[in-house]
Chains A and B, each alone.
Chain A
Amino acid sequence: ETGVTQTPRHLVMGMTNKKSLKCEQHLGHNAMYWYKQSAKKPLELMFVYSLEERVENNSVPSRFSPECPNSSHLFLHLHTLQPEDSALYLCASSQDFSRGIGEQFFGPGTRLTVL
């Protein structure tokens, strides 16, 4: 595996379900990000981890819960989601969380549908 991988690629869940999204980066980077991408809207930064510590949390509802057990893995735990949470969830990594400067490498995303 190379680059940034995400599983699952597609997920359909009910509002009462609990599921988790997984991201893994094979680039030796120190920073990882979760983004939400909705149709025709800008990418929304949800969470940033640098060296396994959360450094950014942009007012994301508590029904989204991130976890970063090590610098290569990032999870997004989902529970009691709403239909408006349906979107593409992208994971990204960069060499360092050097204050936003520097290329980010993205995974292919998880297409989430909440019924």
Chain B
Amino acid sequence: GQNIDQPTEMTATEGAIVQINCTYQTSGFNGLFWYQQHAGEAPTFLSYNVLDGLEEKGRFSSFLSRSKGYSYLLLKELQMKDSASYLCAVTDSNYQLIWGAGTKLIIKP
């Protein structure tokens, strides 16, 4: 079957750096997405990786290794507003979008 694994919950300190991992087992691969979802709100797009390597966008970076079936989202200079759930999703060979259950990130002062 197809599966996306990410930690259920993580805690980090304001101003620090946190890395949220995502591993996937899918039938083929056509890209990986990261979305942010604040409690009670809509998921919003953060990043898209289709080639190996690191994509940097301000305080957020996303890394992909297709050979390892692995991605991470790196958040730097954490702010309280970064407290949210982070969803990893993979497009498989049939172009179906497979979602992870999300990682709830708690930021402490």
Contact = CB atoms under 8 A, between A and B. Distances in A.
Contacts of A108: 40-42
B97 interface: yes
Contacts of A40: 8, 101-102
B95 A101 contact: yes
Interface in B64-109: 87, 89, 91-92, 95-102
Given A42-B4, A100-B30, A106 B101 contact: no
A11 B96 CA distance: 29
B99 A42 contact: yes
Contact of B44 (A43, A99, A106): A106
Interface in A65-105: 90, 99-101, 103-105
Interface residues of B, number: 24
B44 to A, nearest CB: 7
Contacts of A21: none
A107 B43 CA distance: 8
Contact of A42 (B31, B41, B100): B100
Contacts of A41: 101
B60 interface: no
Nearest to A40: B101
B102 to A, nearest CB: 8
A103 B42 contact: no
A46 interface: no
A28 B42 CA distance: 19
A106 B38 CA distance: 12
A-B residue pairs, 5 tightest by C-beta? A99-B95, A106-B42, A100-B95, A42-B99, A43-B99
19 contacts: A40-B101, A41-B101, A42-B4, A42-B98, A42-B100, A43-B87, A43-B99, A90-B43, A100-B30, A100-B95, A101-B95, A103-B33, A103-B48, A104-B45, A104-B97, A106-B43, A107-B42, A108-B40, A109-B42
